[in-house]
Amino acid sequence: MKGTLGNMMQQVQKMQEDMQKAQAEMAEKEVTGSAGGDIVTVVMNGHQQVKKIAIDHDLIDGDNDMLEDLLVAAFNDALNKVSEMQQQNMGNLTEGLNLPAGFKLPF
């Protein structure tokens, strides 16, 4: 039993180290959300920090309501992409742990 517990603790410690590394890598990765056929694009990193917003003003033509709607859609698109990237990244870390379905980390 002692050996099994020791192995489990080593796995948990390695997983924590891998999670910290993955979180650092996520900060470096970027996604681009867009709306209106790329009239508005939002670049966001893995920590959901906005890095850039681009607006094709020629296609907006002074329509502020449309611009606001496109900004919301582009932000939401970027947030969804960050969430997918995070799930994929964290899923790779827990592959070999044989966790029960629905088990969420961190505890």
Question: For the domain that residue 41 is a member of, what is the CATH number?
Answer: 3.30.1310.10
Angle made by CA atoms 87, 93, 97, in degrees to the nearest 5 = 115
Instruction: Find how far residue 12's CA is from the centre of its chain.
Output: 23
Q: 32 is in which domain, residue-wise?
A: 27-84
pLDDT computed for residue 56 by the predictor: 93
Q: Is 46 among the domain residues?
A: yes
Q: What number of other Cβ atoms are within 10 A of residue 29's Cβ?
A: 14
Domain tally for the chain? 1
pLDDT computed for residue 94 by the predictor: 63
Q: Is 103 among the domain residues?
A: no
Angle made by CA atoms 48, 54, 58, in degrees to the nearest 5 = 155
Q: Is 74 among the domain residues?
A: yes
Q: Is 48 among the domain residues?
A: yes
11 secondary structure, DSSP code: H
**pLDDT per residue rounded down to tens, the chain (107 residues):** 567 777 878 888 888 888 888 888 888 899 999 999 999 999 999 888 999 999 998 888 888 999 999 999 999 999 999 999 888 877 766 666 655 666 665 54
Backbone phi, psi, residue 34, to 5° = -145, 165
Q: Is 18 among the domain residues?
A: no
